[in-house]
Amino acid sequence: MAETLTRTATIRPWVTEKILMGLPPRAYARSLVTPGNAIVALILLVGLPIIVCRFVFGLASVTNLSQTTPWGLWIGLDVLCGVALAAGGYVLASTVYLFGLKHYYPVLRPAILTGFLGYLFVVIGLMADLGQPWRISYPVIRSYGVTSVMFLVGWHVILYLTVQFLEFCPAVFEWLGCSRVRRWAASLTIGATVFGVILSTLHQSALGALFLLAPTKLHPLWYSPFVPVFFFISSIAGGLSMVIVESAVSHRIFRNQVDPEQHVDLDRITLGLGQAASVVLFTYFFLKLLGLADGNRWDLLATPLGAWFLVEVLGFVLLPCFLFAHAVRRRNARLARAAAVVSVAGIVLNRLNVSIVAFNWNVAERYVPSWMEIVVSITIITIGVQTFRWIVNRMPVLREHPDYAGTH
């Protein structure tokens, strides 16, 4: 009895400090009552029952998917966009740990966390699409199916998720106060980064390679034997742009987390990332042109889908490329952030075009996602954002833990 009391007495302050952010339970519960949280609650209230419905009654009960269109919004938005925009994790980890550009360190942890959560919620979105999550062991262990690109994607995601968790582990152990384990986790960082870069290169392109299986289904302007390369290169630009957007938003929303004494020159970091994104987008634009020349279907540019293709390539690749360049020339970080928003929108547009708009373009039956599919996607993204918020408010992500300052 006495032992139980002692344990309760030890656990309670720990919970208060680590979970309730130092507030007594009632005060913490009261702090949760905000307009933002009310919107989140509303989304969850509508979205979670739909997800349950999908698992109980099957895809047909909530989606407009069919035998002709088996991949819809969940694959297009949650998986393809999620993976591309989570690329900031491997891009920034290589920048800091492999290229030694240490002044990007202040945005590294948020980028790795965004990457990790991005992938985690990609898996959740994929589970919603695939169903029967308990059978995940089949492609992983029981029945490899090594001839399928899906096998590649599945294993890459599992391994990369593990690697990103390892990369983020030092922050978790700093939060928990386990300095010995933290030291061990930090020693794995370089190895994890190298492994992570290899995996990302492979699986970002593997997602594009999925569309090599459907050369007749994908519109010729989007289909190219270079699709895997397009996916990989655009993920670098997407990752860089996402880090710019995410760091700007985080530094504004979590202002209390950013230590003013750290003197983080976010504008300088933003312009550096913007410069890299500009070069990547410039290269990506010419690769898209090469794909177009290789397909040799210039005539299709005069069709409505051709115009849409031009909107994507000119408005969301070339335009942000020059916006970034102009921002860097003028040292205008605000313009670089605007360019990053356009660039992120461009990546989303490209993935949705490839997986939905230009897919099955020649089939009479057009897929339009149902409202429930949209709500499920919003619900998954909302849970992802809330998880990010929960972690940033507690763990040393935007700030340095005082005990480990300068140890990176």
Partner 1 sequence: MMPHDLHAMYSAKAIEYLIAVAFLLLFVPFWSLLNGGPAARRVKVAKRALVPRLVEWFNVPENVYYHPGHAWARVEPDGYVRVGMDDFARKLVGPLAGLRLPAPGTRVEQSEPGWALLADDRAIDMLSPVDGIVVETNAEAFRSDRPPDPYGRDWLLKIKPEKLIANLKTLIVNGTERRWMELNADTLRLRLSPNLGLLYQDGGAPVDGLARTIDPENWDELAREYFLTSEE
> Using CB under 8 A as the criterion, which residues of the chain lie in contact with partner 1 when the complex forms?
275, 278-279, 282-283, 286, 289-290, 293-294, 296, 325, 328-331
Q: How far is the CB of 329 from partner 1 (least distance, A)?
A: 4
Q: How far is the CB of 286 from partner 1 (least distance, A)?
A: 4
Number of Cβ within 10 Å of residue 118's Cβ equals: 25
CA distances from 408 to 186, 288, 371, 387 (A): 8, 39, 46, 25
Of 277 and 395, nearer to partner 1 (C-beta) is 277
CB 184, CB 89: distance < 8 Å: no
Q: How far is the CB of 282 from partner 1 (least distance, A)?
A: 6
CA distances from 46 to 59, 160, 372, 380 (A): 17, 31, 9, 12
- Dihedral angle of Cα 208, 291, 337, 391, to the nearest 10 degrees: 10
Of 230 and 388, nearer to partner 1 (C-beta) is 230
Number of Cβ within 10 Å of residue 368's Cβ equals: 10
Q: How far is the CB of 337 from partner 1 (least distance, A)?
A: 17
Of 330 and 366, nearer to partner 1 (C-beta) is 330
Q: Quick one: tokens of 64?
A: 């407009």
Q: Is the dihedral of CA 215, 226, 66, 127 positive or negative?
A: positive
Helix %, strand %, coil % for the chain, to 5? Answer: 80, 0, 20
Q: How far is the CB of 284 from partner 1 (least distance, A)?
A: 11
Q: How far is the CB of 317 from partner 1 (least distance, A)?
A: 14
Q: What are phi and psi of 357, to 5 degrees?
A: -65, -50
Of 71 and 324, nearer to partner 1 (C-beta) is 324
- Residue with the two structure tokens 């290229």: 99
Distance CA 318, CA 296 (A): 21
Q: How far is the CB of 263 from partner 1 (least distance, A)?
A: 12
Which of 23, 124, 48, 122 is CA-nearest to residue 80? Answer: 122
Q: Could you say which DSSP state residue 22 is in?
A: T
Q: How far is the CB of 223 from partner 1 (least distance, A)?
A: 15
Of 264 and 383, nearer to partner 1 (C-beta) is 264
Q: What are phi and psi of 218, to 5 degrees?
A: -90, 135
Of 325 and 349, nearer to partner 1 (C-beta) is 325
CB 122, CB 86: distance < 8 Å: yes
Q: What are phi and psi of 395, to 5 degrees?
A: -95, 160
Distance CA 63, CA 43 (A): 18
Of 294 and 365, nearer to partner 1 (C-beta) is 294
Of 97 and 324, nearer to partner 1 (C-beta) is 324
CB 131, CB 58: distance < 8 Å: yes
Q: How far is the CB of 129 from partner 1 (least distance, A)?
A: 36
Of 43 and 290, nearer to partner 1 (C-beta) is 290
